[in-house]
Chain A
Amino acid sequence: MSKRNLKLTVPILARVEGEGAMDLEIRDSRIEKLQLRIYEPPRFFEKFLEGRAWHEIPDIVARICGICPVAYQVSAVNAFESIFGIEPDLWIQKMRRLIYLGEWIESHALHIHLLALPDFFGYESGIAMAKDYPAEVRRGLKLQNLGNEIMRVIGARSVHPVAIRVGGLHKAPDEHRLEQLQSLLEEALPEAEAMCEWLATVNIPDDPQQFHCVALRNNGYGVESGELISSTGLQLQPEQYEQHFTEFHQPQSTALWSHMDGAPYLVGPLARLNMNTATLPETMQPLLQKFADRFPSNNMFDSMLARGIEICFALREAITILNQYTAPAQSYVDVEPCAGHGYGWSEAPRGLLWHHYETDHQGIIRQARLVPPTSQNQARIEEDLHCSLTRFGLDNSDDEIRLHCEKVIRNYDPCISCATHFLKLNTVRH
């Protein structure tokens, strides 16, 4: 049998957020090099946060990512509230959870329908796929729009919303709009469940792997806050993150990589679902029963269905919050800035997002460190590519190999603009 040699280049990885490339070198049927190369230029947010005031931070860090600005804003205010000794009351927690759920719905629906599904149906884009699957794609766009609508009602717009501040929200949302929103969400729930059942029928590779999972738990699914739990048995508060998680710089990448106790690990929807299945509300059980044999899952290709399930969870949770809504006496508490170190995290659509700030006595930032989910997944992605491609088989054609690697990467829904506060694939086969 002849040896497989291949040098493959994907200079611009499509249907991922941000700029990434992939390098693949196969020599004599062995993978010599398989690298996810992020080439998006760094924007150095952590440096220009220095010297800014605490109250400016939510607007600045939102601009790290257009798909998950709420995640950045919430992780940031969590960190500052820990420095300034502010405990957000129940109303504030619920409102942050609600707008965050809107972001999950929007991000997941966009990823499923526009970024991931085309691979499994043989289309270049969701737009092309819509010609043959109009109902399914339009349903996805509708759910995406609902997620955006939640963010618009609470935060004025879905990209860089304006409502979140240290101490609460700038203003309580309009109650009439909340009522309308609740009706829309209730009406959409059956469609979201139908979407899940359809997603479960999509043919995916059988690709079990070993990996550690990390997620937040908050008497249930962690979204806007919580304690960190891992499949290795960790239970941590935000200030303990650095004791077990380290960042380091890999050559040929502008994103920092991350290890948990010396090993790669997974954050994101599949990690969350694996760690928190038992804590999902009763109302989710009928849906979960339909996929009981698939979760917990060690097959990253189940991520797409995991996102679908999270959309259903987010809708139900949002409806519950809206059902119990009462207007607050005030929408935020006043802040007395002080010097200190603050740590905060939350579950961005793509996984754990941890922030650390140091302030001076006026609340001016002296130092900042932000660890996004995509850089935390980098080591896992590379490990996955090696395993997955080996199992898929190097005997396949160049195109099939390229597509398989791209599918593996897209399972992680990488957000490269976050990771580079960005990825390009150049494959070299000899």
Chain B
Amino acid sequence: MADKPRVAVHKFSSCDGCQLAFLNMGDTLLDLAERVDIIHFAEAGPVAEDARVDIAFIEGSVVTAHDQQRIRTIRDNSEYLITIGACATSGGIQALKNLALDAEHWPAQIYGQPEYIDSLEQSAAIADYVRVDFELWGCPINSNQVIELVNSLLRGVSPKDNQDKVCMSCKQQQVVCTLVTEGKPCLGPVTRTGCGALCPQFGRDCFGCYGPAENTNVTGLSRRFSGLGLLPDEIQRRFQLIHPTRYIQTTSDTREAGEHE
């Protein structure tokens, strides 16, 4: 590529943790800045929200009418749009409000003068509003995912989307299975790999921060959890944490599975 690709990093409703996949790269951040032109990345310094770019990274979910407008403008200004992290790919943990029956009353309960809060009832993924070219799943994503992706794009190689389950990662690293040997309600069998199976290595079960893998058998896993002694509401909460609307579509999915035991 003769000119360096122009890159933007945009933030929507998020904790900012996925942007740290850039800022926590260490020296590699400076290498990256040599390979691309960072046109807009407010937290790092450059601000040019409406500039045309080759690659736009989007962190965060859509939660206001203004967000809806903004993401459409960004889509028009960007050749390649990539969502990074749970908030952008699935609405994030704040999508828990999508499941609440009374979320429209929440601003009044927390903020004394709620008329100043412009907030939609749902936290939505970016793909609900615009076409997305590639997704990096994770909560958070890690620096390797970003480097891998940027490198692939720079070299004209299709980025790889690995939808293997966390179980693959455990087996490859010879980590003992928490579900089988410890009877913990591990979401690994239905969750994307990418984190490197961190939780099983650190003494706990997977809680699904990388989101659902392909071809998941949530019903089967719910029955297993029920067999381990989890009650229906506990099972439901297990699947509705980081990606509240993606593992199960309705609250009755797991309830039914639990009740079959």
Contacts and interface: CB of A to CB of B under 8 A. Distances in A.
A316 interface: no
B43 to A, nearest CB: 6
Nearest to A47: B106
B193 to A, nearest CB: 15
Interface stretch (A63-71, A230-238, A392-400): A63-71
Nearest to A141: B26
Contact of A41 (B41, B45, B63): B63
A252 B117 CA distance: 8
A56 B241 contact: yes
Contacts of A69: 15, 17
Contacts of B203: 163, 169-171, 331
A64 B93 CA distance: 9
A257 to B, nearest CB: 10
A368 to B, nearest CB: 10
B177 interface: no
Given A43-B94, A162-B199, A248-B112, A67 B13 contact: no
Contacts of B30: 127, 130, 137-138, 141
A53 B185 CA distance: 15
Interface string A259-303: 000000000000000000000000000000000000000000000
A331 B202 CA distance: 11
In which size bucket is the chain B interface? 35 or more
Nearest to A415: B16
Contacts of A130: 30
Interface string A23-54: 00000000000000000111111111000110
Interface in B22-73: 23-24, 26-27, 29-30, 33, 38, 41-47, 49, 63-64, 67
B241 A114 contact: no
Given A15-B44, A17-B43, A67-B20, A160 B209 contact: yes
Interface stretch (A150-158, A194-202, A345-353): A150-158
Contact of A46 (B13, B43, B110): B110
A47 B199 contact: no
A162 B198 contact: yes
Nearest to B198: A156
Interface stretch (A90-98, A118-126, A182-190, A380-388): A118-126
B236 to A, nearest CB: 11
B124 interface: no
Given A44-B110, A127-B45, A170-B204, A157 B142 contact: yes
In which size bucket is the chain A interface? 35 or more
A130 B21 CA distance: 19
A41 B64 contact: yes
Pick the most buried of A45, A118, A159, A171: most chain B CB atoms within 10 A of its CB: A159
A204 interface: no
A48 B97 contact: yes
A17 B16 CA distance: 7
Interface string A396-408: 0000000000000
B45 A156 contact: no
B224 interface: no
B16 A18 contact: yes
A66 B46 contact: no
B13 A53 contact: no
A144 B241 contact: no
A40 B199 CA distance: 31
A251 B24 CA distance: 35
A216 B38 CA distance: 40
Contacts of B112: 248-249
A59 interface: yes
Contacts of A46: 110
B199 A42 contact: no
B100 A417 contact: no
B140 interface: yes
Given A52-B237, A158-B24, A42 B33 contact: no
B226 interface: no
Given A47-B106, A60-B241, A127-B33, A159 B20 contact: yes
A331 B42 CA distance: 40
A145 interface: yes
Interface in B203-240: 203-204, 207, 209, 234, 237
A11 to B, nearest CB: 8
A417 B18 CA distance: 13
Contacts of A41: 13, 63-64, 67, 117-119
A379 interface: no
A157 B17 CA distance: 12
A64 B15 contact: yes
A417 to B, nearest CB: 5
B44 A114 contact: yes
Contacts of A19: 11
Contact of A124 (B45, B109, B118): B45
Contacts of A56: 237, 241
A48 B17 contact: no
B139 interface: yes
B10 to A, nearest CB: 10
A333 to B, nearest CB: 14
B113 interface: yes
A156 B94 CA distance: 24
Contacts of A59: 207, 241-242
A145 B24 contact: yes
A60 B15 CA distance: 11
Contacts of B234: 53
A260 B250 CA distance: 45
A110 interface: yes
Interface of B: 11, 13-21, 23-24, 26-27, 29-30, 33, 38, 41-47, 49, 63-64, 67, 92-94, 96-97, 100, 103, 106-107, 109-113, 116-119, 123, 139-140, 142, 195, 198-199, 201-204, 207, 209, 234, 237, 241-242
Given A42-B110, A60-B93, A163-B203, 20 more contacts: A41-B64, A41-B117, A47-B100, A56-B241, A65-B17, A66-B18, A118-B45, A124-B46, A126-B45, A145-B26, A156-B199, A159-B17, A162-B202, A169-B203, A170-B202, A171-B204, A249-B113, A251-B113, A252-B116, A256-B111
Those 7 A-B pairs whose CB atoms lie nearest each other, nearest first: A66-B17, A125-B45, A171-B203, A249-B112, A48-B96, A170-B203, A156-B198
